[in-house]
């Protein structure tokens, strides 16, 4: 069942030198209990997509087109107040840096209870019991004893668990996790990934996992969307996109990741860099770097086309033209 449905979402930033289109008409959906990965290099628009969904776009950024449906209802045109009621209660958010997400002057128990009581009508005692339950759920040992501790008394990995508990304590149906493991060491990262997977499985929570780390995506997600220059280059089941990428960009991306399993003499490299927002080339945004580019790519922008098990925004997969 579809929980989140994003249709033709466009995000723009008006500047003195004209309007920059940071996200250009992207569409995707997330089902109940599904983990969708959003991957891409810095500046591809993946974090902005998350911010647009929870209504936290930094002005002057604005949604310039398309719509976002949550459980069948539009949420992109709600007032600040209505959106605040949804944020936290229906849609939770986990950000990259666990240090800046927590208030250093308030005990973690207080922060959790406050969050819970904002969204749910619970007595102090019930709210505290729920806070302890969630701290245990995210794997904090001796949660009852540590509930009055302050953020600085926790290590980085433990703080990120507290942040996850905060995002989940009102039991939202969708969690947007923006680089939740990037600031953490690998052994802690593995624990947090496992936690996210368990929550999706046990609670039916849907997760949109934004990260630049393809390895994290490969292990965590059901489906993945590869973003490039504010557009979705390819979207499909994670096994397909990782093993048999169809879009030349996803192919290059997979090839450029050094492998633990076998050592190669040279990594596949994508020459050049992602275009700046002010200078996105016409046609397919990837055409100047693409090894398989042909004339049509330079003039006409491809939509998402069926490519075996995935959908890729690439003219190579235009069945109508293949016969010509």
Cα(253)–Cα(264) distance, integer angstroms: 15
Residue 287: which of 299, 298, 272, 277 has the closest Cα?
298
Does 259 interact with other proteins (rule: CB under 8 A)? Answer: yes
Does 155 interact with other proteins (rule: CB under 8 A)? Answer: yes
Least Å from the CB of residue 160 to other proteins: 11
Q: Decide: 176 and 96 in contact? Cβ < 8 Å.
A: no
Q: What is the DSSP letter of 87?
A: B
Question: Which tokens sit at 224?
Answer: 């993945």
Among 75, 238, 290, 305, binds other proteins (CB under 8 A): 238
Site for other proteins in 203-222 (CB under 8 A): 212-216, 218-220
Question: Which tokens sit at 17?
Answer: 């030198």
Q: Which is nearer to other proteins, 56 or 267 (CB)?
A: 267
Site for other proteins in 31-60 (CB under 8 A): 41-42
Does 198 interact with other proteins (rule: CB under 8 A)? Answer: no
Cα(316)–Cα(302) distance, integer angstroms: 10
Among 257, 280, 293, 316, binds other proteins (CB under 8 A): 257
Q: Which is nearer to other proteins, 115 or 250 (CB)?
A: 250
Cα(128)–Cα(281) distance, integer angstroms: 54
Does 153 interact with other proteins (rule: CB under 8 A)? Answer: no
Does 185 interact with other proteins (rule: CB under 8 A)? Answer: yes
Does 254 interact with other proteins (rule: CB under 8 A)? Answer: yes
Helical spans, DSSP H, in 221-306? 238-243, 248-255, 295-299
Q: Decide: 50 and 176 in contact? Cβ < 8 Å.
A: yes
- Given the rule CB under 8 A, which residues bind other proteins? 41-42, 155, 157-158, 185-191, 193-194, 212-216, 218-220, 238-239, 242-243, 252-261, 263-264, 266-271, 273-274
């Amino acid at each position: 069942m579809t929980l989140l449905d994003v249709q033709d979402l466009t995000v723009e930033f008006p500047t003195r030198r004209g309007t920059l289109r940071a996200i250009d008409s992207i569409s995707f959906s997330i089902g109940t209990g599904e983990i969708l990965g959003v991957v891409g290099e810095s500046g591809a628009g993946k974090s902005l997509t998350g911010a647009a969904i929870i209504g936290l776009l930094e002005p002057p950024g604005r949604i310039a087109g398309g719509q976002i449906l949550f459980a069948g209802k539009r949420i992109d045109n709600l007032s600040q107040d209505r959106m605040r009621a949804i944020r936290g209660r229906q849609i939770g958010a986990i950000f990259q840096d666990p240090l800046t997400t927590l208030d250093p002057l308030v005990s973690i128990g207080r922060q959790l209870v406050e969050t819970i009581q904002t969204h749910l009508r619970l007595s102090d005692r019930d709210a505290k019991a729920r806070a302890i339950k969630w701290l245990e759920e995210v794997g904090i040992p001796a949660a009852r004893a540590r509930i009055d501790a302050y953020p600085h008394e926790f290590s980085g990995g433990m703080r990120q668990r507290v942040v996850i508990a905060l995002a989940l304590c009102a039991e939202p149906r969708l969690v947007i996790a923006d680089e939740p493991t990037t600031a953490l060491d690998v052994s802690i990262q593995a624990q947090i990934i496992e936690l996210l997977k368990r929550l999706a499985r046990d609670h039916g929570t849907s997760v949109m996992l934004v990260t630049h780390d393809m390895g994290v995506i490969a292990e965590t997600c059901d489906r993945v969307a590869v973003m490039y220059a504010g557009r979705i280059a390819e979207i499909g089941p994670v096994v397909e996109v990782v093993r048999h990428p169809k879009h030349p960009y996803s192919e290059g991306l997979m090839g450029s990741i050094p492998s633990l399993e076998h050592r190669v003499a040279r990594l596949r490299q994508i020459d050049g860099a992602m275009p700046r927002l002010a200078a996105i080339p016409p046609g397919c945004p990837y055409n100047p770097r693409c090894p398989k580019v042909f004339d049509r790519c330079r003039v006409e922008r491809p939509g998402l086309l069926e490519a075996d098990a995935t959908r890729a925004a690439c003219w190579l997969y235009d069945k109508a033209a293949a016969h010509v």
